[in-house]
Amino acid sequence: MPMRFALSNIVLVAALVLSACTVEPNQVSANGIPSPTPFQPLTENASDSPYSAAAPTPLHLPTLTPLPPTLTPVVIQPELIPPGITLPQFVLPTELNPLTGLPPDDPSLLERHPVAVKIANYPRYIRPQSGLTLADHVYEYYIEDGLTRFVGVFYSNNSEWVGPVRSGRYFDENIQRMYHAYLVFKFADKRVQSYFNTTDFAEYLVTPTIGSCPPFRKMEMRRNIEDYNNEYFNLSAWGDCVARDGLDNKRPSIRNGFFSEIPPNPDLLGLQVFTYYSVDSYNYWVYRPDINQYIRYQERDDMRDGKGETFDLLMDNVTATPVHASNVVFILAYHTFANSFDADDEVYHIDLTGSGEAYVFRDGVGIVAQWYRTNRDQPLLLTTPAGTPIDMRPGITFFEVIGENSYVDQGDGIWNFHHETP
């Protein structure tokens, strides 16, 4: 689909952007035998208090210096290669995290399955969320009623607090499969849950039960918030639960990504990137050249009744830093409904198979791109329109998933994406 351009007339207040607090760097369908989720209600710890410590302690991670990778001879063969595109071999990494291109502070964390956690973005009073800056990859996508939700993929970091955890969606199947992840969510619409339970990844579904495993808990300082918005996952305790219950936790085969610290040619600047999902959900990223990071701002209020845009920094309650990313990637994907009943409730199917239009932002540069699902069980491949793989800056990558019919305008380093579905 060609890129659509329109006139942009956005006035930015420089003080709002540059005076922010600093950041410390650092469907496809599946046919299978129905099976239960890996954890059933337990009774041995039924008396455990639902409330835990008062609040997470801010965590400041050490700055990591990338080490040269030592590649293994194990190769993952792409299953989908468009004509005219030549790719190097997908090699399994050893010392480096394949999702970030960085060595983990604790290499043993890579000897496990990643964990994908559904994290709320609404209602606004649940902010700041916990753990977003500790995920290696984060996806944001439209759910319903003008709102979005995150799913964070945790591989090289743990956190005692991740959340608030909210319900699953059909889209989450893509994340589970691409990352071989345990999928942590707080239940789902019965249509979604019933489908998940019939798939071949049903054993990797993690939902709340009674007891200490899986390690869901509530935050004491947010006791005044309704229970369904006060559910957190203790990723640091997850490994013990997996061992206790004899679950699969061997290191999966996830291909190495393409990374480089060398900035790309600045053919198009990408200094500020706005995303409009709805009058209730809009955000922007601003590039900070002093730390080579994009910083996330989130809407403060809706734009109903003639109200203008207002923004606040989106913070992480665990690390006490703004949500940030080395790379921000826009994925344009087809959004559809299985039937009229799903359309009435906005129960979307987001098709992340095949290929589509994409945009990559790193180092203050915007890159027109294509995304490819080369393998059902591997992360997306991003290339230039000519088919050359795009190098990510080592670090966190944040994906904004918007509709295939979305449009974009840009000028003077400012980009505006407007989410649209058929």
* Domain segments of the chain as ranges: 92-244, 258-418
> Phi/psi at 197 (nearest 5 deg)?
-70, -15
pLDDT tens readout for residues 318-346:
999 999 999 999 999 999 999 999 999 99
pLDDT above 60: residue 395: yes
Q: Is 136 exposed, middle or buried (0-12, 13-18, 19+ CB in 10 A)?
A: buried
Structure tokens at 19: 């005076």
Q: How many CB atoms lie within 10 A of CB 297?
A: 23
pLDDT above 70: residue 183: yes
Type and span of the H or E element at 244:
helix 235-244
Mean pLDDT computed over 111-118: 98
- Is 370 in contact with 383 (CB distance < 8 Å)? yes
**What pLDDT score does 83 carry?**
75
pLDDT tens readout for residues 281-295:
999 999 999 999 999
> What is the CATH code of the structural domain delimited by 258-418?
3.50.90.10
Q: Is 111 exposed, middle or buried (0-12, 13-18, 19+ CB in 10 A)?
A: exposed
pLDDT above 80: residue 151: yes
* Domain 92-244 grouped into CATH 3.40.50.300: no
Q: Checking DSSP bridges between strand 148-154 and strand 115-119, what pairing results, if any?
A: antiparallel
Query: Under DSSP, is residue 325 helix (H, G, I), strand (E, B) or coil?
Result: strand
Residues linked to residue 382 through DSSP beta bridges, in sequence order: 371
**What pLDDT score does 85 carry?**
74
% pLDDT > 90, the chain: 75
C-alpha 95/C-alpha 218 separation (Å) is 35
Q: Would you give the distance in Å from CA 118 to the centre of its chain?
A: 9
pLDDT above 50: residue 119: yes
- Is 76 in contact with 142 (CB distance < 8 Å)? no
**What pLDDT score does 79 carry?**
79
pTM reported for the whole predicted model = 0.84
- Is 157 in contact with 109 (CB distance < 8 Å)? yes
Average pLDDT along the chain = 85
pLDDT above 90: residue 81: no
Q: Say which residue, 247 or 66, is predicted with more confidence.
A: 247
Its sign, for the CA torsion 92, 95, 99, 100, is negative
Same fold flag, 92-244 and 258-418: yes
